[in-house]
Each structure stands twice: as structure tokens, then as C-alpha cells.
Amino acid sequence: MAAAMMAAGPATSRATSAALQAAAARGDWDAVRGFYQQNGGTWQGRTAQQDADERQATAGGAIGNGRYGFRFTRRSEDRAADRAVAERRARTEESIARERLGIERGRAAVAEQLRVMNGKEAPNRFTVVPGGQEFDPAAGTAVTRPSRVFNNQTGQFVDQQGAPGASAAPRAGEVRGGYRFKGGNPADQASWEKV
């Protein structure tokens, strides 16, 4: 197309260019397309025959003559192939998204482990283990055990000091102030015997 314009001379080339610009300015894209597609040229990468084939294929779905009918069938096959490609792409994107989610979860778990190992923002650093009563076979009585605190990081129980002025409950057989505790209620005098 450009060779034909050059052969016609600069004046024709300028006049053609001005006519094409005027058609574009008024929105007459059919005229612009027609100019470029004449004699097998292309407009936006498409020939006049490709445009005609597409119009025929979408006009009503009729098979038409052999030439257009084949093109119609081919376009249908192209669309099926496009759908298959789109489905594969969607499955691949979904798989990648799942992998990314797994990687992010793994990163979060590793970051949490690092925080715990470094002692920063450790969740549930301590756990309270409730006390209760248990049977002491040596004393033959029930013994009350206090609640204890377990350090989740060290895996050991934390020694607690009682409130100021308060003493821990005596154990059966323990001697205090010249009296041996027999078991039971430490506030009851019958639970104590003189040593």
C-alpha cells in the first residue's frame, strides 16, 4: 500500500493522507478500513476477507456455502480450543494460588516459632495446672494440692511464693511449733498432736 502511494507521487500521497485524516476526524472508520484493506491490505492486522468471514459466521449461524461454512466450523473449533485454554489457565492459576497460600501459612508458622524461641510475643507462656485433693496412702487421708503454674517455654513448674504472712498448708506428719500434723483440717486442734 505504501509503495502504491509512493509511486503516485508526493501530491497524491499528501491528498490521500489528508482524506484519511478527515475521515478519521469525522469518525468514518469504515472508509479508513476500506482504504487500507483494498487489494488484500490490512487494517489493524485484519484483511477484508477475515472481516467478511467473521460477519458471515456471526450473522445467524447458518452454514452457508462451503467456503464460509468451513470457516464457521473452524471458528467454532477455535472457540472450543479457547475455552479449553481458558479452563487450563484457570486451573493453573487456582493451583498457584493454593501453593502461595500454603507457602504463606508455612511462613507464618515459621515466624511464630521464631517469635516463641526468641521469647517475643509468646502466646500462652504460662499454663495454670489446677490443684485438687488426692489420697495420701502413707497418712491414710485426703491431701489438698495447690494449683501450680507451668512454664510452657522451659517445660518446668514455676516455684511460687505464698502471700506475705501466709504459710502453706502442712503435710501429714509435718512438725510445727512442737506439734505434729496428723492430717485433716489444719485449723482444727484435733488434727495436731504434741511431740
Distance of alpha carbon 136 from alpha carbon 184, whole angstroms: 11
In a domain, 119, yes or no: no
In a domain, 24, yes or no: yes
Q: What is the pLDDT of residue 126?
A: 80
In a domain, 105, yes or no: no
Q: What is the pLDDT of residue 58?
A: 55
In a domain, 23, yes or no: yes
Contact 43, 36 (CB under 8 A): yes
Structural domain harbouring 38: 2-44
How far lies 97's CA from each of 58, 85, 89, 100, in Å? 37, 18, 12, 5
**How many structural domains are present in the chain?**
1
In a domain, 132, yes or no: no
Q: What is the pLDDT of residue 140?
A: 82
Q: What is the pLDDT of residue 100?
A: 87
Question: Per residue of the chain (195 residues), what is the pLDDT tens digit?
Answer: 455 554 556 667 788 888 888 888 888 877 877 787 776 666 666 666 777 776 665 554 445 444 444 444 456 667 777 888 889 998 998 888 888 888 888 888 888 888 777 776 656 778 888 888 888 888 888 888 888 888 877 888 887 765 444 567 888 888 888 888 888 888 888 888 888
Residue type, 144: T
Report the alpha-carbon angle 187-147-153, nearest 5.
155
Q: What is the pLDDT of residue 6?
A: 47
In a domain, 49, yes or no: no
- How many CA atoms lie less than 13 Å away from 168 in the CB half-sphere? 13
User: Cell for 80?
Assistant: 472450543
Distance of alpha carbon 101 from alpha carbon 118, whole angstroms: 26
In a domain, 8, yes or no: yes
Helix H or strand E encompassing 141: strand 141-145
Distance of alpha carbon 36 from alpha carbon 30, whole angstroms: 10
Output the pTM of the full model.
0.25
In a domain, 40, yes or no: yes
